[in-house]
Amino acid sequence: MGLDRTINYLSYFLVLLSSFCLELGHATDTIAAPNFIKDSETIISNDGDFILGFFSPANSTYRYVGIWYAKFSTTHAIWVANRNNPLKSTSGVVTISEDGNLVVLDGEKNIIWSSNVTGSVSNRSAQLLDSGNLVLQENTNTSIMWESFQHPSDSFLPKMKLSTNMQLTSWKSYSDPGVGTFSLRISVFYNLPEIYIWNGSSPYWRSGPWNGQLFIGIPKMPSRYLDGFNLIDEKQGLFSLIFEFSNKSWLLHYVLTTEGNLVETYSSNGKDWSIEWSSLTSECEVYGKCGAFGSCNSKNSPICSCLKGFEPKNIEEWTRENWTSGCVRRTPLQCMRANTTGEDGKKDGFLKVRMVKTPSLANWSAAFEDECKYRCLENCSCLAYAYDSGIGCMSWTREYLIDSQQVSSTGGVDLYVRVASSELDRKKEVKVIVIVTVVIGIVFVAVCTLFLCRRRAKHKARKTRSEENNMRGTYPTFQRQENLAGNINQDKLQELPIFSLEELASATNSFDLSNKLGQGGFGPVYRGKLLDGQEIAVKRLARTSGQGMQEFMNEVTVISKLQHRNLVRLLGGCVEGEEKLLVYEYMPNKSLDAFLFDPIKRELLDWKKRFNIIEGICRGLLYLHRDSRLRIIHRDLKASNILLDEELNPKISDFGMARIFGGNEDQADTKRVVGTYGYMSPEYAMEGRFSEKSDIFSFGVLLLEIVCGRKNASFYDHDEETMNLLGFAWNMWKTDNMAVLIDPKVLKPDFEKEILRCIHVGLLCVQDLAKDRPTVSIAISMLRSEIDDLPSPRQLGFTANQTAPETQASYHNQSIRSINNVTVTMVHGR
Ligand SMILES: *[C@@H]1O[C@H](CO)[C@@H](O)[C@H](O)[C@H]1NC(C)=O
Ligand SMILES: *[C@@H]1O[C@H](CO)[C@@H](O)[C@H](O)[C@H]1NC(C)=O
Ligand SMILES: *[C@@H]1O[C@H](CO)[C@@H](O)[C@H](O)[C@H]1NC(C)=O
Ligand SMILES: *[C@@H]1O[C@H](CO)[C@@H](O)[C@H](O)[C@H]1NC(C)=O
Ligand SMILES: *[C@@H]1O[C@H](CO)[C@@H](O)[C@H](O)[C@H]1NC(C)=O
Ligand SMILES: *[C@@H]1O[C@H](CO)[C@@H](O)[C@H](O)[C@H]1NC(C)=O
Ligand SMILES: *[C@@H]1O[C@H](CO)[C@@H](O)[C@H](O)[C@H]1NC(C)=O
Ligand SMILES: *[C@@H]1O[C@H](CO)[C@@H](O)[C@H](O)[C@H]1NC(C)=O
Ligand SMILES: *[C@@H]1O[C@H](CO)[C@@H](O)[C@H](O)[C@H]1NC(C)=O
Ligand SMILES: *[C@@H]1O[C@H](CO)[C@@H](O)[C@H](O)[C@H]1NC(C)=O
C-alpha cells in the first residue's frame, strides 16, 4: 500500500516535471495553425529520436528544412522538404498556411515549399511521429492528409512503406540535397516485382525478382526476411516494401547515395554509423556489365564470360575488357534453321547455368517446371527459362538476355539457356571423356587394392579368425562415419543391443508383406515377434537410398540417447552386409494419421484424447528441444510420425532426419532440405534454415490437423477453391468464424473454449516469421491456459494464399502446394 502510494506520487511528480521541461524547451512534436517554427527552433518526436528543423549540409551555407536523428547531428537528414529550393538566409519559417498546407516560407513570406494538398480548407496540424514520419492531419477527425513517408527523399526507414508508386531519389552531392540522377523504385514486369536503381532513365542496378522471401539476386537476404523485411502484394499490381526493426538501441536505415549505391547503415547505442550491406559490392552489380548474353562473376578474372553456347561478338574488345558488345550464339538454333531452309535436324535443348541472378525482363507464368520447359522449347523465340518454386515459371522471349550474374552462397536460381543440339553434344563429349578417365582410374585403383588385400589376407588369415567372432557385437562401420552429428558417444553405441539378421528375418517371417506396417522415411517397417514373445517393429532401410547409412547412423545416435515416454524407444539395430535395420518397440495402434484421417477410426478420438495427444507431442518435443542432454531438431514432425500406444498415448518416431545442435547453436542451414510438404516452415522449405522454430511450425500444422480432423494439404473450401488448411484456418480466424474449423466429432460446448484456444495457438505456431512463433515451453503454457493474453496471429502470407495452378494469381509459394504425405528431399542449389 505504502509503496503504491509513493509510486503514484512519484509518477505524478514526473508528469509535472516533464510538462515543465516541454514548456521550457519548446520541445513539442507538433506545429499547429497559428504557430510556426523559426530557423533556430525545432520540433522533436515524442520519444526524442527525431528532430525537424533547419540545417545546412556540409560545405554549404544554404538552409534546408529537414528531419534527422536526434542522436546524430544534421550530417545526413533522412528527409528534406525544400530540396530543390534552398533558403539563402536564416529568416525562413515552417508553418501551416491558410489553405491548410504545411509550408516553408522565406523572409518575404514567399512559399519556398508546400505539401501541395488540395481540397477544402480546414483546421490542420503537422506532427513528427516517433517513427520519423511527419504527418499533416485534420484536427477534427485526425485523418492524414499528407505524410513525409509517402514522399521520401533518399532514405528508407523502418515501418516506412515503399510502394510501387513511390521512389527514393539520391542527393545531387553531399552538400546539395537537390534531386540527383539516381532513383530507386520497385518495378513490376509481368507480375514479377523487383527493385531497380535507375541512372536517369537507364537501369543501373537490379535486385532480381522477389520469390516470396527474398530478392534472388541479393546474396545474404534470408536473415532479413526473418527480421521482418518483406514485400507485400497489395493487389492490383501494387507492391510495398517494408522492414521493421523494433530494437530501440539500434538505428537502421537504407540510403540511396549520390553515387547510386543503396547502403544499409546502422548504429547501435548511438555509436557512429556502420555499413551493414550495400548494393554495389562489385562491378558485376552494374546493370548489363557484360552485355548481351554475357554473365558476370565477381570471383572470376576477368569478371565477364559468355553464357554457355555463346561466344564474344568482338573478341578483340573482350580481351581489352570492353564487354559492351556482348556475345553471340555459336551455333544457330535448329528451330531458326528449320524456319528458313525447311531443314529438319535434331531438336534444340537447354544448358543449365547454376545459381544466377536471372536476366532482366522475364515473362512470368504459373506453369510448373516441366510445362515451363516444354512451353519454352515449343516457341522458337523463347531464349531461356528458369523455374523457382517461390516464383513459378520465368521465360525470356526478347532479342537477348542481359544482366545475368553468378551469385554464390544464397540467392540465385538455375537458368536454362536454349542452345542447338550440337552444343549439348559438345558438352556430352566432355562428360564422356571425364567419365571414361574416372572409370579407368577407379578400375586401376580397385585392381591394385584387391591385389594388396589378397596378399595381406593370406598373411593374416589364421591370426584373425578368432578375433572376428568377438567383433560381432559391434558395428565396425560406425568408426568411419565422421560426418555425423557431434557428441557421438561410442560406448553408448556399443551398448545398443545387436540383433542378427537371421533373428530379425525369422521374427518377421522373412520380411513377409503381410507383416509390413507401413513405409517410413527411408524404408519399409515390419511387425515382428521375437522368440521370447516380445513384439517389435523393424525398419529396414532401403538398400537403394544412397543416404541410407547417414540416416541410419543419425537415427541410432540420436535415439539411443533419448529416453522419454513420448518418444518411441529403440531396442536395437543390425548391420549385416548391405542390410541396415532398426528395431523399435511395437505400437499396436500404428500412427496418428491412421486414426485422424480415417472416417471411422476418427470417432474413437474424442476431445479429451486429442488434447492428451497434443500435450504428449508437446512434452516429447520439449524434451527434444530443451530437456535432453542434447538439443535435437526433429525436422520431420507429421501425423504419420506420431505413433500411438495401447492407451492412445502419442510417441514421436522417425529420427532419421533429426539434427543435434551444440549448446549455443540456434539454427543451421542445410543444402539438403528433407521433410514433408505441408509441414515445412517457409524458411526451411525455401532456404534450408531450420531451428526449433521450424519444428514448432510443423507442430502448429499438426495441432490444426488434430483439431480439425483434416489434412493440411489437399483441402477445398466452400467455393471449391484449392487452399490448404492453414489458409482456410486463417480465413476463418479473420472472419471470426472458427467454429467452422472444428471437427464436428469433437465439438461439445464444454470444450469449445479449449478447442478455440488450441486453434489460436496453432495459428501462432505457423506464423510466417520464425520470430513470431512461440517456443515449445510457451506453447505448452498457452495450451494449458497459463498465459491469459495470447497475441493475435499475424496474416499468414506464405502458406495460406495458395490457389490451384490454373488460377494461380499470386506468383509465390508453390513449393508447399504439393499434395502428398511423403517425406521428400530437395537439394537446394544455394
Ligand atoms: C568540404 O570541403 C572540404 C574542403 O574543400 C573537403 O575536404 C571536404 O571533403 C568537403 N566535405 C564534403 C562532405 O564534401
Ligand atoms: C507544389 O505545386 C507547385 C505548383 O504546382 C510546384 O511548383 C511544386 O513543385 C509543388 N511542390 C511539391 C513539393 O510537390
Ligand atoms: C483547430 O483545432 C484546434 C484543436 O482541435 C482548436 O484548438 C482550434 O481552436 C481550432 N481552430 C479553428 C480555427 O477551428
Ligand atoms: C476528415 O475531414 C476532411 C475535411 O473536413 C475530409 O476531407 C475527410 O474526408 C475527413 N476524413 C474522414 C476519415 O472522415
Ligand atoms: C549515369 O548516366 C550519365 C548519363 O548517361 C553518365 O554520364 C554517368 O556516367 C552515369 N553514372 C554512372 C555511375 O554510371
Ligand atoms: C537490442 O540490442 C541490444 C544490443 O545489441 C541487445 O543487447 C538487446 O538485447 C536487444 N534488445 C532486444 C529486445 O532484442
Ligand atoms: C567498347 O566497344 C564499343 C563497341 O563495341 C565501342 O563503341 C566503345 O568505344 C568501346 N569502348 C572502349 C572504352 O574502348
Ligand atoms: C520464320 O520465317 C519468317 C519468314 O522468313 C519470319 O517472318 C518469322 O519471323 C520467322 N519465325 C521465326 C520464329 O524465326
Ligand atoms: C512465341 O512467343 C511470342 C512472344 O511471347 C509470341 O508472340 C508468339 O505468338 C509465340 N509463338 C507461339 C507459336 O506460341
Ligand atoms: C508474356 O507471356 C504472355 C502470356 O504467356 C504473352 O501473351 C506475352 O506475349 C509474353 N510477352 C513477352 C514479351 O514475351
For the stretch 159-204, pLDDT in tens is 899 999 999 999 999 999 999 999 999 999 888 899 999 999 999 9
Select which of 388, 636, 743, 768 is catalytic: 636
Higher per-residue pLDDT: 37 or 212 = 37
Backbone angles phi, psi at 807, to 5 degrees: -105, 20
Q: Are residues 511 and 533 in the same domain?
A: yes
Q: How far apart are CA 643 and CA 783, in angstroms?
A: 21
Average pLDDT over residues 61-79: 88
Average pLDDT over residues 621-642: 82
Note the pLDDT tens digit of each residue in 327-383.
999 988 888 887 666 566 778 899 998 888 999 999 988 777 888 999 999 898 999
Q: Are residues 526 and 650 in the same domain?
A: no
Candidate from 286-300, 335-349, 526-540, 555-569 with smallest mean pLDDT? 335-349
Note the pLDDT tens digit of each residue in 290-313.
999 999 998 888 899 999 889 999
Question: Quick one: pLDDT at residue 760?
Answer: 93
Given pLDDT bands bounded at 50, 70 and 90, which one contains residue 150? very high
Average pLDDT over residues 575-595: 84
Q: Are residues 347 and 380 in the same domain?
A: yes
End position of a domain, from candidates 260, 281, 302? 281
Question: Quick one: pLDDT at residue 812?
Answer: 30
- The sign of the CA dihedral 801, 804, 809, 810 is positive
Predicted confidence (pLDDT) at residue 451 exceeds the cutoff of 80: no
Q: Looking at ligand 1, which residue's alpha carbon is closest to its atom 5?
A: 59
Question: Quick one: pLDDT at residue 750?
Answer: 83
> Can you state the percent helix, strand and coil of the chain, rounding each to 5?
30, 25, 45
Residue 621, domain CATH:
1.10.510.10
End position of a domain, from candidates 249, 281, 313? 281
Q: Are residues 243 and 306 in the same domain?
A: no
CA 291 to chain CA mean position, Å = 32
Question: Quick one: pLDDT at residue 276?
Answer: 81
Question: Quick one: pLDDT at residue 436?
Answer: 65
Q: Give which of 101, 85, 103, 96 is closest to 34, Cα–Cα.
A: 96
Domain count of the fold of the chain: 5
Residue 9 lies in a domain: no
In angstroms, what CA-CA distances link 780 with 346, 679, 783, 784?
63, 20, 5, 6
Residue 212 lies in a domain: yes
Residue 46 lies in a domain: yes
Distance 396 CA to ligand 10 centre (A): 9
- For residue 44, give its domain range: 25-150
Question: Quick one: pLDDT at residue 817?
Answer: 30
Q: How far apart are CA 428 and CA 524, in angstroms?
A: 38
Given pLDDT bands bounded at 50, 70 and 90, which one contains residue 642? very high
Q: Looking at ligand 8, which residue's alpha carbon is closest to its atom 14?
A: 336
Cβ(379) – ligand 9 distance below 6 Å: yes
Given pLDDT bands bounded at 50, 70 and 90, which one contains residue 564? confident
Residue 512, domain CATH:
3.30.200.20
Angle (nearest 5°) at CA 504 between 501 and 507: 150
Q: Are residues 611 and 757 in the same domain?
A: yes
Q: In a mutational test of the pocket of ligand 2, which residue from 80, 97, 112, 116 has the highest number of ligand atoms less than 8 Å from its CB?
A: 116
Q: Are residues 277 and 299 in the same domain?
A: no
Question: Quick one: pLDDT at residue 487?
Answer: 35
Residue 720 lies in a domain: yes
Average pLDDT over residues 573-583: 82
Predicted confidence (pLDDT) at residue 793 exceeds the cutoff of 80: yes
Task: Decide if 629 contacts 561 (C-beta within 8 A).
Answer: yes
Q: Are residues 558 and 604 in the same domain?
A: no
Q: How far apart are CA 257 and CA 142, in angstroms?
A: 35
End position of a domain, from candidates 219, 249, 281? 281
Q: Give which of 787, 769, 604, 773 is closest to 703, Cα–Cα.
A: 773
Q: Are residues 237 and 143 in the same domain?
A: no
Cβ(397) – ligand 10 distance below 6 Å: yes
Question: Quick one: pLDDT at residue 455?
Answer: 61
Ligand 1 surroundings by CB, under 6 angstroms: 58-59, 174-175
The rounded percent of the chain whose pLDDT value lies above 90 is 32
Distance 236 CA to ligand 4 centre (A): 25
Question: Quick one: pLDDT at residue 127?
Answer: 94
Q: In a mutational test of the pocket of ligand 9, which residue from 190, 335, 336, 381 has the highest number of ligand atoms less than 8 Å from its CB?
A: 381
Distance 274 CA to ligand 1 centre (A): 20
Distance 84 CA to ligand 1 centre (A): 21
Question: Quick one: pLDDT at residue 27?
Answer: 66
H and E: helices and strands count for the chain: 16, 46
Higher per-residue pLDDT: 746 or 816 = 746
Given pLDDT bands bounded at 50, 70 and 90, which one contains residue 522? low
Question: Quick one: pLDDT at residue 680?
Answer: 82
Candidate from 236-250, 341-355, 436-450, 556-570 with smallest mean pLDDT? 436-450
Given pLDDT bands bounded at 50, 70 and 90, which one contains residue 483? very low
Question: Quick one: pLDDT at residue 719?
Answer: 47
The rounded percent of the chain whose pLDDT value lies above 70 is 75
Predicted confidence (pLDDT) at residue 718 exceeds the cutoff of 70: no
Residue 495 lies in a domain: yes
Average pLDDT over residues 520-526: 72
- Ligand with smallest separation from the Cα of 125: 3
Average pLDDT over residues 686-697: 85
Candidate from 24-28, 76-80, 787-791 with smallest mean pLDDT? 24-28
Higher per-residue pLDDT: 621 or 344 = 621
Question: Quick one: pLDDT at residue 207?
Answer: 92
User: What rounded mean pLDDT belongs to the chain?
Assistant: 79
Assess whether 636 carries a catalytic annotation.
Answer: yes
Q: Looking at ligand 10, which residue's alpha carbon is closest to its atom 4?
A: 365
Predicted confidence (pLDDT) at residue 637 exceeds the cutoff of 50: yes
Strands, sheet with 250-256, edge to edge from the N-terminal-most edge strand: 155-156, 250-256, 262-268, 274-278
Average pLDDT over residues 410-436: 76
Question: Quick one: pLDDT at residue 829?
Answer: 37
- Ligand with smallest separation from the Cα of 285: 5
Question: Quick one: pLDDT at residue 203?
Answer: 95
- Looking only at the bridges linking them, the beta strands covering 516-520 and 124-128 are unpaired
Distance 57 CA to ligand 1 centre (A): 11
Q: How far apart are CA 481 and CA 558, in angstroms?
A: 14
Question: Quick one: pLDDT at residue 669?
Answer: 62
Q: How far apart are CA 745 and CA 296, in angstroms?
A: 60
Question: Quick one: pLDDT at residue 809?
Answer: 25
Task: Decide if 182 contacts 198 (C-beta within 8 A).
Answer: yes
Q: Looking at ligand 1, which residue's alpha carbon is closest to its atom 4?
A: 59
- Ligand with smallest separation from the Cα of 59: 1
57-70 per-residue burial string, b: 16 or more CB within 10 A, e: under 16: beeeebbbbbbbbe
Q: Are residues 699 and 763 in the same domain?
A: yes
Distance 311 CA to ligand 5 centre (A): 28
Average pLDDT over residues 485-510: 68
Question: Quick one: pLDDT at residue 512?
Answer: 84
Highest mean pLDDT (candidates 28-37, 200-209, 579-588, 688-697): 200-209
CA end-to-end span of the chain: 62
Average pLDDT over residues 114-119: 88
Q: Are residues 417 and 308 in the same domain?
A: yes
Higher per-residue pLDDT: 564 or 109 = 109
Residue 444 lies in a domain: no
Predicted confidence (pLDDT) at residue 508 exceeds the cutoff of 60: yes
Q: Are residues 362 and 268 in the same domain?
A: no
Residue 345 lies in a domain: yes
Cβ(339) – ligand 7 distance below 6 Å: no
Predicted confidence (pLDDT) at residue 480 exceeds the cutoff of 70: no
Average pLDDT over residues 117-138: 89
Task: Decide if 645 contacts 797 (C-beta within 8 A).
Answer: no
Question: Quick one: pLDDT at residue 147?
Answer: 95
Question: Quick one: pLDDT at residue 696?
Answer: 94
Three-class secondary structure of residue 310 per DSSP: strand
Residue 132 lies in a domain: yes
Q: Are residues 643 and 788 in the same domain?
A: yes
- Cell triple for residue 117? 494538398
